Structure 1
Amino acid sequence: MTEKNTSAPVHVRTRFAPSPTGFIHLGNIRSALYPWAFARATGGDFILRIEDTDLERSTQAAVDVILEGMSWLGMDPDEGPFYQMQRMDRYKEVLAQLQAAGHVYPCYTSMAELDALREAQMAAKEKPRYNGTWRPEPGKILPPVPAGVPPVLRFKNPQGGVVAWDDKVKGRIEIRNDELDDLVIARPDGTPTYNFCVVVDDIDMAITHVIRGDDHVNNTPRQINIFQALDKVPPIYAHLPTVLNEQGEKMSKRNGAKPVTQYRDEGYLPEAMVNYLARLGWSHGDDEIFSREQFLEWFNLDHLGRSAAQFDEAKLRWVNAQHLKAMDDEALAALVAPQLEKRGMAAADIADGRLPRICALFKDRCDTTVALADWAVVFYGDTVQAVQEERDKHVTPAAGPALAALAEALQEGAWDKAFIAAAIKQVLAAQGLKMPQLAMPVRVLVAGTAHTPSVDALLELMGREKVIARLKNR
């Protein structure tokens, strides 16, 4: 293939081209993250293309999840989405050009004949491939055209020589043309096939860099030959290693992968997801936690990994926890509020100004916004359900007098941490108790668990009325 001239500056144009035949999972979205990041890092353009030619399996619901997931992660395209089914006239126009130039020919070999050929080749331990029966050559006599049989159109793959490219991940790759048979590029009904449509799209959209999964490596030599038949220079390729699930299998819906949007619903932050996904195949030294801005400042194609990356949900939760702790409390409250409303909390109550302070108090203990909402909900509900084991352990008859005394001591006075701390100290002295003997049952009654931040901060945020009611409700 002709190498690109890298001396002149290139305006980078990348693309993500998913097929909407199932939900988009983290392995898919990782393949979108790098072309998006490369375009952003270089001041280029990122194009979204929906490859929806598989009419039986493509669904609008799958398209919606792709758009929703990318929007949530802040990976908005500069152009698109473009839909291949809306470009059929253009494909047929280019197909006609190739046919007129002698790069395409009709093939009347039936499916039954192809199956028999494949079986014979496999029995002879040969690589299954089309044998070129209908390929026109000088002096060759073709079989009689069968009546009433619509042909497929095949691309005349060059014979002899190699197809070669310098892959930005895998290095130099060379494939002998003799290993490639003549690709079907249009079906009997005239519908063009994947490898052909991709090339036309990449030409029309002026794609400079194709960054995609390495399951496409086998398509690349075929696509390069089509580029060259159209007298166009192929883009630069970077084929990313597979993302494996926690069992070491290729991440897929069949192997238990979740839709990207499910992580949103489970309380993960988009910034944390971008951080985690970026490290699934790329690195910047030993940096584990970084912002979106740092990622885009650092990203290039030279530090893409060559080995398959393995998804680790525990690591993802840890990364999410780090971002959650560093997040502005007001912004965090804006994410927690809708989750509280889903749990039946009134929007007016949530808007009382406490939620950012609640987030500040509990975010160091949480790894998702759902976990944070689990804490926040006890501040807004009318009742709290204590962990029974902790209730039995701490809310004992012996603690009753001290709890009653604290409820009484909290009735009057300025409701702040200093007042609450003083009331607790007073009760401890009067009852002859140590702090845990009072603090533990107070936590269980007020928040449902003995494991909370400082008692005075907890009670101050809970509010006098709720605190006293819960201390009395033993």
Structure 2
Amino acid sequence: MTVRVRFAPSPTGMFHVGGARSALQNWIYAKQQGGVFVLRIEDTDAARNKPEWTEGILSALDWIGISRGSYEGPYFQSANAGEHRAAAARLHESGRAYYCDCTREDVQARTGSQYQGYDGYHRDRGLGPGPGHALRFRTPDEGATVVVDLIRGEPTFENKLIEDFVIARGDGSPVFLLANVVDDMTMGITHVIRAEEHLPNTPKQQLLWEALGVKPPIWAHVPVVVNEKRQKLSKRRDKVALEAYRDEGYLAGAMRNYLMLLGWAPSGDREIVPWSVIEDEFRLDEVNLSSAFFDEKKLRAFNGEYIRALPVAEFVDACQPWLTGTGTIAPPPWQPEEFDADAFAAVAPLAQTRIAVLSEIVPNVDFLFLASPLIDEAAWTKTMKDGSAELLDDAVAAFEALESWDAESLKSTLEAVGAERGLKLGKTQAPVRVAVTGRTVGLPLFESLEVLGRERTLTRMRAARLRLV
């Protein structure tokens, strides 16, 4: 038997990080088993579906390493509508489903409770199809449905506790529960790997598989992804869009690595490991049962490690979208003609050790490419105090006299200026840094001044001095 797994997102919004984790788990499992990864776009919610969301799914999968052409599909659920309706008809004809025109209010009136499930009122009344007549599955009265789950063992559900659930609406359109089952059957899916939030629907789906005469797939329900409050990650409340992390400057490798740790860990006391190790070691039966905490701070730390591990040339290439404003990345504050590739290459090794996401490259190097620095007014107020004007005067004079404009000479010269005032280097260089870069923190100052050059450095220091008059 060839293993066939599927990833079936809906094109109704940005690509959820939890969905990305499920995609990766399915992808790896298929590769390990010599199987097939199938992409199915569940696009039957016409009111919310947009073509750009479908393209977003495809591009997000590309980014995390599941590239177009390496999987089967994408298929679209809407294209299988005829099969969905045919399956509903077969279930009715075989007696496994029946029509019902009860409203929620009708059920509540009979049971006396708004919390009571459907009471089977129309099971044997012979109601036929018609407007407003929903089709309900006839759940067995006795026995239990056992779900074989690679992670959770064999969860067992008593059939008497499963109500006769709707499989087709009053207008004849099948509900998602049935459509999902029929699609999996049509595509020959052998293993369904998905989040545990779907587990309550699994016995219903398994009953549908069996009623349609097909052996159910093997299930694997991975732990749900939660925030720091142990709440399920929500699009409305949490930062969950994979595209947002991509556009902020998270590396695909770091994101892949981190997502795979949500509920699983590689061997040994390690977390940051090559992707080849994850592909080799990942096992569904080793996935934890407890909820998986998506820790953005930890992801950020992961990303910083991945950035620092890049060869400098690759780091320079990786920064280009933020330096040029390409694709979905916002343009930088400088004009294209102001950017100096050689200057950036000179400071790139310094910046690489100081940023955790690639978007941070812009505020670290913007002073190199702007006619004048973007002044952080809070930094100016904090730094430019009594004595700063005179210190800048002395520093300008000392720098003007330098024969060699290099980091070491600049540092020793400014140290001497501060020593005459009884100041340590940290206090001495603070006004110079703000005058030249506009900020109190950033790349190493003297290496930055070397790259910026004598003329531009002195011009900015003089301008800052005039502002202090």
When normalised by structure 2's length, the TM-score is: 0.85
- Using the alignment, how far apart are the partners of 1:395 and 1:267 within structure 2? 40
1:316-335 matched pairs, under 5 angstroms: 316-335=299-318
Contact 1:12–1:209 at 8 Å: present in 2 too? Answer: yes
Counterpart of 2:57?
Answer: 66
Alignment partner for residue 350 of structure 1, among 339, 354, 374? 339
Counterpart of 2:123?
Answer: 135
- Using the alignment, how far apart are the partners of 1:113 and 1:335 within structure 2? 61
Deviation at 1:88?
A: 0.6
- Using the alignment, how far apart are the partners of 2:445 and 2:62 within structure 1? 40
SS at match of 1:105: strand
**Pair 1:259-2:241 in alignment:** yes
Counterpart of 2:189?
Answer: 207
Relative distance call for 1:74 and 1:111 in structure 2 (3 A) is same
Contact 2:343–2:368 at 8 Å: present in 1 too? Answer: no
Counterpart of 2:109?
Answer: 116
Contact 1:41–1:299 at 8 Å: present in 2 too? Answer: no
1:459-474 matched pairs, under 5 angstroms: 459-473=449-463, 474=465
1:282-305: per-residue Cα shift (whole Å, max 9, x none)? Answer: 111432222333322322212211
- Using the alignment, how far apart are the partners of 1:400 and 1:132 within structure 2? 86
Alignment partner for residue 271 of structure 2, among 288, 293, 307? 288
SS at match of 1:239: strand
Counterpart of 2:327?
Answer: none
- Using the alignment, how far apart are the partners of 1:469 and 1:454 within structure 2? 20
For structure 1, the 5+ residue unaligned runs are 1-9, 137-141
Relative distance call for 1:395 and 1:97 in structure 2 (3 A) is farther
1:199-238: per-residue Cα shift (whole Å, max 9, x none)? Answer: 1111122222211111111111111111112222211111
Contact 1:402–1:431 at 8 Å: present in 2 too? Answer: no
Counterpart of 1:408?
Answer: 400
Counterpart of 1:340?
Answer: 323
- Using the alignment, how far apart are the partners of 1:43 and 1:354 within structure 2? 48
Deviation at 1:307?
A: 0.5
Deviation at 1:457?
A: 2.2
Counterpart of 1:397?
Answer: 389
Task: Report the residue type matching 2:368 in the other structure.
Answer: F
1:238-287: per-residue Cα shift (whole Å, max 9, x none)? Answer: 11222112222221123334422122222222222222222221111432
Relative distance call for 1:180 and 1:458 in structure 2 (3 A) is same
Alignment partner for residue 81 of structure 2, among 61, 69, 88? 88
SS at match of 2:147: strand
Relative distance call for 1:457 and 1:64 in structure 2 (3 A) is same
Alignment partner for residue 379 of structure 1, among 368, 377, 396? 368
Contact 1:199–1:226 at 8 Å: present in 2 too? Answer: yes
Aligned Cα RMSD in Å? 2.9
Relative distance call for 1:49 and 1:454 in structure 2 (3 A) is same
Contact 1:14–1:208 at 8 Å: present in 2 too? Answer: yes
- Using the alignment, how far apart are the partners of 1:165 and 1:64 within structure 2? 34
Structure 1 window deviating more from structure 2 (21-30 vs 321-330): it is: 21-30
SS at match of 1:272: helix
SS at match of 1:24: coil
Relative distance call for 1:393 and 1:326 in structure 2 (3 A) is farther
Deviation at 1:373?
A: 1.8
Contact 2:350–2:444 at 8 Å: present in 1 too? Answer: no
SS at match of 1:49: strand
1:348-376: per-residue Cα shift (whole Å, max 9, x none)? Answer: 44352333442311222221112222102
Counterpart of 1:7?
Answer: none
Task: Report the residue type matching 2:230 in the other structure.
Answer: G
Relative distance call for 1:307 and 1:409 in structure 2 (3 A) is same
Counterpart of 1:223?
Answer: 205
1:30-77: per-residue Cα shift (whole Å, max 9, x none)? Answer: 333322232244443222222222333444454344334333323336
Relative distance call for 1:44 and 1:354 in structure 2 (3 A) is farther
- Using the alignment, how far apart are the partners of 1:313 and 1:360 within structure 2? 25
Task: Report the residue type matching 2:336 in the other structure.
Answer: A
When normalised by structure 1's length, the TM-score is: 0.84
- Using the alignment, how far apart are the partners of 1:430 and 1:18 within structure 2? 63
- Using the alignment, how far apart are the partners of 2:128 and 2:172 within structure 1? 18
- Using the alignment, how far apart are the partners of 1:226 and 1:427 within structure 2? 79
- Using the alignment, how far apart are the partners of 1:399 and 1:148 within structure 2? 89
- Using the alignment, how far apart are the partners of 2:46 and 2:413 within structure 1? 75
Contact 1:402–1:438 at 8 Å: present in 2 too? Answer: no
Counterpart of 1:421?
Answer: 408
Task: Report the residue type matching 1:378 in the other structure.
Answer: F
For structure 2, the 5+ residue unaligned runs are 325-330
- Using the alignment, how far apart are the partners of 1:358 and 1:41 within structure 2? 43
Task: Report the residue type matching 1:400 in the other structure.
Answer: L
Q: How many residues align?
A: 449
Deviation at 1:84?
A: 1.3
1:401-453: per-residue Cα shift (whole Å, max 9, x none)? Answer: 4322343235x65x6x4xx4235546756896565565444433333345445
- Using the alignment, how far apart are the partners of 2:427 and 2:84 within structure 1? 78
Counterpart of 2:139?
Answer: 157
- Using the alignment, how far apart are the partners of 2:395 and 2:196 within structure 1? 65
Relative distance call for 1:92 and 1:116 in structure 2 (3 A) is same
Counterpart of 1:6?
Answer: none
Task: Report the residue type matching 2:349 in the other structure.
Answer: A
Report sequence identity in percent. Answer: 34
- Using the alignment, how far apart are the partners of 2:180 and 2:215 within structure 1? 14
Relative distance call for 1:92 and 1:173 in structure 2 (3 A) is same
Task: Report the residue type matching 2:85 in the other structure.
Answer: K
**Pair 1:232-2:214 in alignment:** yes
- Using the alignment, how far apart are the partners of 1:109 and 1:356 within structure 2? 71
